[in-house]
Structure 1
Amino acid sequence: MQYSGLNEALKQGVTGSGKRPLGMIFCEDQTEVNTTARHLMQLGFSPVLLFMPPHLTLSPDVAERTARIDFEPHHPGAVQRAVSRVAAAAPRRWMHYCYNAEFLFYPFCETRSVGEMLAFHTEERRDAMLTYVVDLYAGDLKHAPDAVSLDDAWLDRSGYYALARSDAPRGGAPKERQLDFFGGLRWRYEEHVPPERRKIDRIALFRAKRGLVLREDHTFSDEEYNTYACPWHNNLTAALASFRTAKALKRNPGSSHDIASFRWHNSARFEWHSRQLLDLGLMEPGQWF
């Protein structure tokens, strides 16, 4: 199904009446659009909404199983407004948002559906899940000049850190159970990344409600949504394996010529398996075993 815009899509009930988690993909270009959509459908998201400019294309199998919405993701604030509007249209529904060439992983995702995982998370009285954006990059930029290669994907196995998130209204005091996380390509090539875009944390899984607003820094207006755990114990976290930063660094004329290879002594080949991300500490199983 294709819609001329989000207004028409919401009017026609694009979110559906089911209880399965809803997925949103914001397509900035053609890179791995179909692969990203298939990945979410395989995890158990339904429906999957594709927000994309009219000139981009979909394979027939993906077009048949998803809802396409004409959209310009590069407009300032467009993604945040769209996520907030979809959240208001389907309150209490679990949702996920990402960009094309980003792939969601959570503990044991190879054998357990996203619905099972979120049911457990809900039982722990959590309405959101912290997600780390883990940068992926092609190992050989001569063969993959756009830095995207599913067959030759690499990631950083170290270099990640967290800083206390300050609360301006409270004189800069640290916010409770909130941290700013850094690492990956945004850390190694920070001279090419604006300071406000260097964080790698995102609340990519959340339970929708009316009045909930996604902010420019990928946090929500409800501060409890931005916490990494409840007050009593550690909770589940997830990861987004993402080519988005590598792709941008190679396409940006200001940084492209400075990068002959993204690989360094702490690079490791990405195994496309949740166990690797768990072993590297890039997501947590919490109390879910």
Structure 2
Amino acid sequence: MNYGSLAAFLEQGKAALAKGPVALILIEDLVEVESTLRHHLKAGFRTVVAFAPATLELPTDLAGKVYRVPYDMRAPDALINAINPVIAACPKTTWLYYCYNAEYLFYPFCETRSVGELLAFHTEERRDAMLTYAIDLYAPDLGRTPNAVNLSEAMLDRSGYYALARTDPANSNTPRERQLDFYGGLRWRFEEHVPWTRRKIDRVALFRAEKGLQLRADHTFNIEEYNTYACPWHHNLTAVIASFRVAKALKFNPGSTFSIDSFKWHNSVPFAWQSQQLMDLGLMEPGQWF
């Protein structure tokens, strides 16, 4: 299912956006594109849209399940120029999700429950967005895996994560209610190679379309309630995006690749590709969902 442009998809593919959940996969390069698409199809997304370069080739079985939109992720403001038109084209309350290639959504009990079940419960809790954390994955041996992407031997940091109060830009002494800035992983350990505006690991990657809603370049929304980690009454579900994106970028970037011989440190542990490990490490919250 190929479209000539984003505008053509929004005009001709309205049925694909009529009912979610819809996964929007932003493809920056050709690394692990197929595994990313298959992971999210298996999670139960009704529609998977690939914003893909023209050079991408997909197996026939996968190409028939994915809506493909030609898109250049290297263009200025590529993220918001892809996501915001889709939000505007969706019926109100359609659940949307976005991630990049070589990123994989995990949520509590995802091995036995679909993303549709997850979002149905979250909707019943009167929540229109879910906080996710981009948790860095990386290969243990950069000599054998120069691009830092190795699914079979992936590692992650078991500690080193922290949060700071998010203040109102108009008043730095006033913290925003139920909002925090989260840090950790490779962005924290190799912060000298990461611009300060890109060091946060929080991302509101699951959300419902709403009239006037817009994603901002820092992965927050213009409706502040969407940026909260929980409702006022109790803890809510959170999720993880297990991501090779930062490791890949640090090894692709000429300014950092020669400074990094290994991403491993004393707090590195193998990634089990299971939601229980992420909950045990305190990296996501099951809330009231048992």
Please name the residue that 2:52 is paired with: 52
Please name the residue that 2:191 is paired with: 190
Please name the residue that 2:151 is paired with: 150
Partners of 1:19 and 1:93 within 8 A in 2 = yes
Report the 3-state secondary structure (helix = DSSP H, G, I; strand = E; otherwise coil) of the residue aligned with 2:232: coil
Structure 1 length normalisation: TM-score? Answer: 0.98
Please name the residue that 1:8 is paired with: 8
Distance across 1 between alignment mates of 2:20 and 2:71: 24
Where does 1:96-175 land on structure 2 (aligned, <5 Å)? 96-175=97-176
Distance across 1 between alignment mates of 2:35 and 2:234: 35
* Most deviating of 170-179 and 64-73: 170-179
Report the 3-state secondary structure (helix = DSSP H, G, I; strand = E; otherwise coil) of the residue aligned with 1:277: helix
Partners of 1:88 and 1:211 within 8 A in 2 = yes
Partners of 2:21 and 2:116 within 8 A in 1 = yes
Unmatched segments (≥5 aa) in structure 2 = none
Partners of 2:17 and 2:94 within 8 A in 1 = no
Distance across 2 between alignment mates of 1:92 and 1:15: 15
Partners of 2:235 and 2:288 within 8 A in 1 = yes
Please name the residue that 2:25 is paired with: 25
Partners of 2:44 and 2:114 within 8 A in 1 = yes
Q: In the superposition, relative to structure 1, how do residues 28 and 15 fare at CA in structure 2: closer, same or farther (>3 Å)? A: farther
Q: In the superposition, relative to structure 1, how do residues 17 and 57 fare at CA in structure 2: closer, same or farther (>3 Å)? A: closer
Distance across 1 between alignment mates of 2:14 and 2:277: 36
Aligned residues: 289
Partners of 1:15 and 1:22 within 8 A in 2 = no
Report the alpha carbon displacement of residue 19 of structure 1 after superposing the two structures with TM: 2.9
The amino acid of 2:241's aligned partner reads: L
Distance across 2 between alignment mates of 1:255 and 1:17: 40
Please name the residue that 1:39 is paired with: 39
Please name the residue that 1:78 is paired with: 78
The amino acid of 2:262's aligned partner reads: S
Please name the residue that 1:181 is paired with: 182
Q: RMSD of aligned C-alpha atoms?
A: 1.0
**Percent sequence identity over aligned pairs:** 62
Report the alpha carbon displacement of residue 74 of structure 1 after superposing the two structures with TM: 1.5
The amino acid of 1:43's aligned partner reads: A
Partners of 1:229 and 1:235 within 8 A in 2 = yes
Encode CA deviations 1:160-184: one digit per residue, 9 max, x unaligned.
0000001022344100000000000
Please name the residue that 2:247 is paired with: 246
Partners of 1:20 and 1:44 within 8 A in 2 = no
Report the 3-state secondary structure (helix = DSSP H, G, I; strand = E; otherwise coil) of the residue aligned with 1:51: strand
Report the alpha carbon displacement of residue 17 of structure 1 after superposing the two structures with TM: 5.8
